[in-house]
């Protein structure tokens, strides 16, 4: 089983792929919450780890008090770290199964970061097709996936289009294997459905490389 606490060590290296990816995710999340009109902003995050992306985005957001969020993470040590990091925000960190729709509520901002590199291609497709039921109208989804051969990111982007999303951005960098996709729901949200299984997490053991796949 992968040690998801040790996986975060790569964030200590400012030149690691994870650290550079994190900067893009934070920027995209900040842009997403800034687009939401005045009033409550709902945010959810799958396989949220230690909440580094959400905490970093909200630290630069003037309306952070308007954000009501739920982060779902299975590893108890990561849950503890995320709760400490996000104390003071209206953010709930839940220790539980991130693969079930019942863990969430329809949101304005949806994070699926560190998910698509650890599930099957079929489960990625299934998750993308379910995402409109976890979105409010005009919601933004931020997701990540490595683009090592065979590169699935073009297909994932096409799946988002089929599900009613428009692409707002696709961030990557020469010499690194990460990609950050940002999509906005332009179609109508689907009705929320309880207890839908989106994916099975099958992450491979961390092999000590500077830039873990995700």
Q: Where do the domains of the chain lie?
A: 6-185
Over residues 92-142, the pLDDT tens digits come to 999 999 999 999 999 999 999 999 999 999 999 999 999 999 999 999 999
Q: How far apart are CA 53 and CA 57, in angstroms?
A: 6
Q: Helix-strand-coil percent breakdown of the chain, rounded to 5?
A: 35, 25, 40
Over residues 123-133, the pLDDT tens digits come to 999 999 999 99
What element of type H or E holds 159?
helix 153-162
Architecture of domain 6-185: 3-Layer(aba) Sandwich (3.40)
Q: How far apart are CA 38 and CA 64, in angstroms?
A: 11
Give φ, ψ of 169 to 5 degrees. -175, 155
Q: How far apart are CA 137 and CA 91, in angstroms?
A: 21
Six-digit token pair at 21? 């990816």
């Amino acid at each position: 089983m992968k040690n998801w606490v040790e996986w975060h060590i790569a964030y200590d290296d400012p030149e690691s792929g994870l650290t550079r990816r994190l900067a893009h995710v934070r920027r995209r999340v900040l842009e997403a919450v800034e687009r939401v009109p005045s009033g409550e902003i709902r945010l959810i995050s799958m396989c949220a780890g230690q909440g580094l992306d959400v905490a970093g985005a909200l630290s630069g957001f003037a309306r952070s008090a308007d954000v009501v969020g739920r982060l779902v993470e299975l590893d108890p040590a990561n849950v503890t770290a995320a709760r400490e990091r996000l104390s003071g925000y209206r953010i709930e960190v839940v220790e539980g199964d991130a693969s079930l729709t019942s863990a969430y509520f329809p949101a304005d901002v949806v994070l699926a970061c560190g998910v698509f590199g650890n599930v099957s291609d079929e489960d990625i497709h299934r998750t993308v097709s379910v995402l409109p039921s976890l979105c409010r109208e005009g919601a933004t989804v931020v997701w990540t996936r490595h683009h090592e051969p065979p590169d699935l990111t073009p297909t994932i982007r096409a799946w988002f289009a089929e599900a009613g999303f428009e692409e707002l951005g696709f961030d990557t960098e020469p010499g690194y294997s990460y990609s950050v996709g940002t999509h906005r729901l332009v179609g109508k949200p689907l009705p929320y459905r309880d207890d839908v299984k989106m994916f099975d997490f099958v992450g491979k053991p961390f092999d000590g490389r500077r830039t873990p796949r995700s």
